[in-house]
Structure 1
Amino acid sequence: MRTLKTRAAVAATTGALALAGILGTAGTASAAPAAAASAQRTEVTEAGDAQATLALYNRKVWKTVNHRAAPDGDSTLIGRLYAGTYYTVSCWRYGETVTAEGTTNNVWIFSKNGSGRWGYASAIYFSGNKYADLPLTARC
């Protein structure tokens, strides 16, 4: 089984280019309809590993949030995810515990920002349940 670090590196480097070509404008932030947020799923095979796939979903951020290189508030800030916008996300993982907006959660969502960079944002800021309505099997 691949580790998160390996999967994140593949998605952020070689995979990002492949995903951009496959997804076109769907891979960027957009105001997609609500139905697409809960139902859209695309399978993409990672380069060099025919067994592993990345499931991609669209999820809405309800409040602007920092987008970071790792699932903790001290990691490198790589951008922001903006309120009311749908973003391509792949999986969730446990990270630093965050308390904000009356909620405490240690789940972070691996997402692609408007500049095309993959990183993490606290699940507190995504619509849906504590996992941004991602399947439990979508763990990074």
Structure 2
Amino acid sequence: MRRIPAVITTCAATLAFLVPAGLAAAAPVAPAAPVSPAEQSYTVVPYENVKVRKLPTKDSAYLATLAAGQSYTAYCWTHGQTITDHGYTNDIWIGFADGFSSAVYFKGDQYANLPASAQC
């Protein structure tokens, strides 16, 4: 079961109070955010050094670099900015506890071997 961060829960409760029931379903979806380490996790391995960004875009704030060949814990994948490198093009970004990295740089399939159900 996926945990919902307290901020989202509080916002949802406020929205439910302010918006009539028939309109609540039309509320916009929040952009993907880093996930809680309490959720299901997966092991991913970058084939080259890869940057972790705050959001799933190459221009988002830099947070860290993952070293090539090392194993890292990922929690989900999401669609983000399309990245083309080394002959691969993909808009899938892998979600970590604090940020995202383009799936183009990880071993495995287009989702770095995360299951389709692991969407953020």
TM-score w.r.t. structure 2 length?
0.70
Query: Per-residue deviation at 1:111?
Result: 2.0
Q: Deviations over 1:108-139 (max 9, x none)?
A: 00125xxxxx2100001111000001010000
Cα separation, partners in 2 of 1:4 and 1:64, compared to 1, 3 Å: farther
The structure where helix makes up a greater share of residues is: 1
Query: What is the number of residues matched between the two proteins?
Result: 94
Residue 4 of structure 1 and its aligned partner are, at CA, apart by 6.1
Residues 1:56 and 2:36 are matched in the alignment: no
**CA distance in structure 2 between the partners assigned to 1:96 and 1:70 by the alignment:** 9
**What is the aligned-residue identity percentage?**
35
SS in 2 for 1:137: helix
Instruction: Summarize the Cα distance change of 1:137–1:62 in structure 2 as closer, same or farther, 3 Å threshold.
Output: same
- Which structure has the larger Rg? 2
Structure 1 segments unaligned to the other structure (5+ residues): 20-43, 45-53, 113-117
Instruction: Confirm whether residue 125 of structure 1 aligns to residue 105 of structure 2.
Output: yes
More strand by share: 1
Residue from 52, 55, 72 that aligns with 1:70: 55
Aligned mates of 1:5, 1:72 — CA distance in 2: 12
TM-aligned CA distance change 1:6 to 1:135, over 3 Å: closer
* Aligned structure 1 segments of 4 or more residues deviating by more than 6 angstroms: none
For 1:6 and 1:109, how far apart are their aligned partners in 2? 11
- The alignment's C-alpha RMSD in Å is 2.1
TM-score after normalising by structure 1: 0.61
Aligned counterparts of 1:71 and 1:130: Cα–Cα separation in 2: 15
